[in-house]
Amino acid sequence: MQAAIIYWIRRDFRLSDNAALKYAFESGHPVIPVFIFDDVFQSYGAAPKWRLGLGLEKLAGSFEKLGSKVVLRHGPAETVLTEIIKETGATDVVWNRLYEPAMRDRDNIIKKSLNALGIKAQSFSGMVMFEPWTVATGGGSYYRVYTPFWKAVRGRDVPPPLDAPDRIAAPKIWPKSDILTDWDLGRAMKRGAGIVRPYLCLGEAAAQQRLHNFIEKDISQYHKLRDVPSLAATSGLSENLTFGEISPAQCWHAGRRALGLGAPGAETFLKEVVWREFAYHLMYHTPHILNENWKPDWDAFPWNTDEAHPHVIAWKQGRTGVPFVDAAMREMYVSGRMHNRGRMLVASYLTKHLLCHWKIGQKWFENCLVDWDPASNAMGWQWSSGSGPDATPYFRVFNADNQLKKFDQNGTYIHRWIAELSSSPPRSAQKFFDAIPKHWKLRSDMGYGEAIVSMSAGRARALKAYKNRNF
């Protein structure tokens, strides 16, 4: 029997449009799909780690339908791969590339180490459409502004998505595997897991159906309704893209077909797909965006960094007294996600009205969002705070009350998520109190207070801090 190929699964939880998997099964060799729970995944926050486990469970079922299975191991990736090679006699290892600095460094070391052992190690594209080193300005540098980046890639050919295999050759003897439940990936979610679970869209099949529904029903009005938080007018595909249950190329081609049919919102959707690409482009070329001010001058800005500050606590608990901000935060605790308009507002309020460092928000989102993505999260927070590339200027201070009048005129969104504003609140609003940590000691009968920092006072304070900055 031919020697086996190890297909190393990372954040590519799908069978279709999977270049590494396609290479493996087309080789005719037995394929051993392996997922390694290493320090990278161990570092995930509560919600994304829990979502990872649920996605893995779905992926394992997909492989089983093809007569295969997913081997689970934990430990340093290089050590685990070497062990499996010794156990199985595998001669090849393939994977799809990731672009976070730590993962790039790890993968480069592993590739060199495996090659030195005579093991053929190959990586493939799939997490993005335009790999970061393939997009450059006329001067040969990377793009720092989104619009020129969009113009540079919008006309590029994107290869059509690859079909899923209809069979996967299995090895004669499978290596040992961990049991997924033993990893207890939902441990930190505690009681929030049961609240968030019904809102999830798990697995490749569900992601494809979600994309289909969006293209058929919502994309025509996407450009008009995407900012209305009470409507299900967006694609909702962020969690599936995060874990690779759908590929950006699949989204791109669906959007292009809709554009060709004259759907008015199709180009806006395509721009959002490319916005994600831009985030990865920046993370690759300027990796400090993940944990430091992209613009170094902002190191001198007098943000509060105390996570125990009462304003930070109120912001985290969705009790700032600013309805749009609180509704968005509560939506996150109940659904695991947050509407994009809400993300802009909660970020602006934290970094400007409350003068708190964007890192506080970035870290909190990393813990709470099931669609957490390191590149998009970092860029989004630095965009909102003014410290990042192509950022909204710091002196542009969103007024959450005015935003509410513009995008939630009837109060549908805030009443959906804030129980204290209604005599008979909907179940969605009540679920917030079931999902949050018990030690917060919050109840719906505690009433809804005034804003901890008003729109006018917060704006004045933010502008004063900006005016008096020493850079």
**Binning pLDDT at 50, 70 and 90, where does residue 1 land?**
low
**Does the residue 116 lie in any domain?**
yes
Of 285, 314, 342, at which residue does a domain stop? 285
Average pLDDT over residues 220-227: 97
- Asked whether the CA dihedral 301, 305, 310, 315 is positive or negative, the reply is positive
Cα three-residue angle 284-288-293, rounded to 5 degrees? 130
**pLDDT attached to residue 13:** 98
| Phi, psi for residue 416 in degrees, rounded to 5 | -65, -30
Residues 330 and 458 in one domain: yes
Residues 323, 382, single domain; the answer is: yes
Residues 112 and 245 in one domain: no
Q: Which of 152, 150, 131, 172 is nearest to 19 (CA)?
A: 131
Q: Domain for residue 185, yes or no?
A: no
Residue pair 243/11 in contact by the 8 Å Cβ criterion = yes
Residues 154 and 29 occupy one common structural domain: no
What mean pLDDT is predicted for residues 432-451?
Answer: 96
Instruction: Examine the fold and report which residue of 110, 125, 140 is the final residue of a domain before the chain moves on.
Output: 125
Q: How many other CB atoms sit within 10 Å of the CB of residue 379?
A: 27
Same-domain check for residues 230 and 334: no
Q: Is residue 354 located within the same domain as residue 384?
A: yes
Domain contains 341? yes
Domain CATH code at residue 366: 1.10.579.10
**CATH code: domain of residue 15:** 3.40.50.620
Token pair recorded at residue 193: 């897991």
Could you give the CA distance from residue 33 to residue 186 in angstroms, rounded to a whole number? 23
Contact 6, 119 (CB under 8 A): no
Confidence check: pLDDT of 176 > 90: yes
In a domain, 153, yes or no: yes
Residues 205 and 308 in one domain: no
At 394, the amino acid letter reads: Y
Per the domain annotation, does 248 fall within a domain?
yes
Whole-number percent of the chain with pLDDT over 70 = 100
Q: Does residue 57 contact residue 206 with C-beta atoms inside 8 Å?
A: no
Shared domain for 4 and 20, answered yes or no, is yes
CA distances from 116 to 82, 120, 298 (A): 12, 9, 44
Task: Kindly state the tokens that stand for 442.
Answer: 């919050």
Give the Cα separation of 428 and 436 in Å (integer).
13
Residues 101 and 137 in one domain: no
The overall average pLDDT reported for the chain is 97
**Facing residues of 120 across strands?**
92
460 and 436: one domain?
Answer: yes
pLDDT value at 361 more than 90: yes
Q: What's the sign of the alpha-carbon dihedral 323, 327, 329, 333?
A: positive
User: What pLDDT score was predicted for residue 391?
Assistant: 85
Tell me which of 74, 107, 125 is where a domain ends.
125
Is 402 a residue whose pLDDT tops 80?
yes
* Predicted confidence (pLDDT) per residue in 267-301, tens digit: 999 999 999 999 999 999 999 999 999 999 999 99
Domain match, 146 and 269 both: yes
CB atoms within 10 A of CB 74: 15
Are 3 and 91 in contact, with CB atoms under 8 Å apart? Answer: yes
Q: What is the pLDDT, as a whole number, of residue 387?
A: 96
Sheet of 120-124: strand order equals 71-74, 31-37, 5-9, 92-96, 120-124
The pLDDT assigned to 289 comes to 98
Question: Please, which pLDDT band fits residue 194 given cuts at 50, 70 and 90?
Answer: very high
Q: What is the pLDDT of residues 313-336, one digit of tens each?
A: 999 999 999 999 999 999 999 999
pLDDT of residue 392: 86
Domain-embedded: residue 67 = yes
Task: Count how many domains the chain has.
Answer: 3
Burial profile 402-411: b = 16 or more Cβ within 10 angstroms, e = fewer: ebbeebbeeb
Confidence of residue 84 (pLDDT cuts 50, 70, 90): very high
Q: Which domain holds residue 2?
A: 1-125
Q: Is the pLDDT of residue 83 over 70?
A: yes
* pLDDT of 390 above 80: yes
The answer to whether residue 334 sits within a structural domain is: yes
Query: What does the pLDDT average to over 130-148?
Result: 97
Alpha-helical segments (H) within 216-322: 222-225, 238-242, 248-260, 266-285, 310-316
What span, in angstroms and rounded, lies between the C-alpha atoms of 181 and 421?
40
177 is a domain residue: no
Query: What pLDDT is stored for residue 14 in this prediction?
Result: 98
| Same domain? 369 vs 454 | yes
Q: How far is residue 331's CA from residue 369's CA, in Å, rounded to a whole number?
A: 10
Query: If we measure between CA atoms, which residue out of 129, 153, 132, 105 comes closest to residue 283?
Result: 132
CATH code for the domain of 226: 1.25.40.80
